[in-house]
Every structure is written in C-alpha cells, then in structure tokens.
Structure 1
Amino acid sequence: ALQAGALAGVGAGVVLSGISYFGLASIPSRYVFSVTSALIIFLAAGLAAQAAQFLSNAGIVTGLDQILWNSSGLIPENGWPGRVLHALVGYTDRPTVLQGIVYVGTILVMVGLMQMTAQNKRRALRTA
C-alpha cells in the first residue's frame, strides 16, 4: 500500500509537471513572463495570507477573524483540487477577513511595484 501510494505520487508529479511544461510552452513567448509573473503574484499572496492566519492562530494578530465565505461544500480544502489550489494560489475554503485583506493587499502592492518598475524602464529607455 505504501509503495502504491509512492508510485501514485510520483505519477501525479510527472503528469502535473508535463501539464505545466506543455501549458507554458504553448503560451506565445511574448506572454510567458506575464503569465509566470501572475502565477508568482498569486503564490506570494497565498503565502502572505497563510502567514497572516498563522499569526492570528498564535494570538499575535487579533481581530478580523470573521469568515468571509465557506466554499468547503464546493471545493473542500482537504480534497485533491483544494490541495492543488492551496499550493498554487493559497486557496482556503473558509478564509477570514484578515486573510482576504492580506491576499488582496499583497496582489495590489506587487502589481503596483511591477508597474512602477516598468515605467522606470520605459523612462530610462527614452532618455538613453
């Protein structure tokens, strides 16, 4: 049973790696960095929201612990789709207000910083 589980895990990893590779390879090259940047932004937002929840669970950050929504009936966090979404974008089936604020705030800050960087590069190219 343990060996079958290990083989299933390796097989799932191979399949997901192949899907990721061929999915990214099918994206036109001019959009690859935009797509990977978006994936990184959502990953970072999920990690930040998870960190906020850890701080809340530890009693360091109090308040804003009301549940925003409950999607456990639709996509339970402990099912395989929920686990995949949790790993990729920080999905939680019962996020708190704090997690929502941190998630959206992280996205806004990262997009804003990317826009500022792009503007600075454009200005530097015009003056050079």
Structure 2
Amino acid sequence: MLRGFKNFLMRGDVVVVAIGLIVALAFSTLIKAFTDFVINPIITRIQGRGAVGLGWQLGRPGNVATYLNLGAFISAIVYFVVFMAVVYALIVIPYKHVQARRGVTVFGDPTPAKTCPACLSEDIPAAASKCRYCGSDQPPQA
C-alpha cells in the first residue's frame, strides 16, 4: 500500500499540481496585499475627504453592518483578475509548453462533436457511427 502511495505521489502530474498550488497561494497573498494597500486607498481617495470607502450607508450612520461597500467589491474584482492572470502566466503557459514537449496536448480546443438525431445528445464524437447514449446509428461524417 505504501509503495503504491509513493508511486502516486511521484507521478509528474501530482508534483506539478502541488507546486502550482503553493505558487498560487503565495501569489494570492501578494495580490491581496496589493488590492488592500494600493487599490483600496486609491478608490477611497477618489470618493473624497472623510470617506470610509466607495459606497453608501443604507442604515443608521456609523453602522458598519449596513454599509454597502462597492470599493471592496471593485477591489475583489481587481484581485481576481490579477490573480487569474498570474496563474495563467506562471502555471498554465509553462505547463502547456512542457506537455507539448512530451507530445501531450492540454488546454486545447475541444474535439469536434455532433448531435444525435434520436436522443439529442450533443457530445458525440464527430467520427462516431453509433450514439454512446441511445445506441442509434449515426449518419456518416460529412
């Protein structure tokens, strides 16, 4: 059992995913600090003097629970976009390159598919002669 677990852990894909998660967590902290300490102060400054943030007070003034903070939402959007761009640039692109050198296509375009006229399944391979769901004969590929 331990030998099988060791072999599983030493597979290249598991190592790549583990390293990717570690890098993603590190960049997540960095980008969170960027949005909290750079983006949020800019948004607060744009709103004006004495502002808590970009938003509206829906209830009694001073009640934080009823403050609609759009600045925090904008900051979260910026955080998400920057985080996904970093993950794509530092993990996905190198992974695609390494897999291409190994002869494996990852994150490519989906394979062509057709719709079964009998059961209306839309994910049948274009070269299939029978439907995988209902078993009906498929017209030849055009």
**Shorter-chain TM-score: what band?**
0.3 to 0.5
TM-score normalised by length of structure 1? 0.40
TM-score under structure 2 length normalisation: 0.37
Larger relative helix fraction: 1
- Select the structure that is richer in strand: 2
Larger relative contact order (Cα-Cα within 8 Å, sequence gap ≥ 6): 1
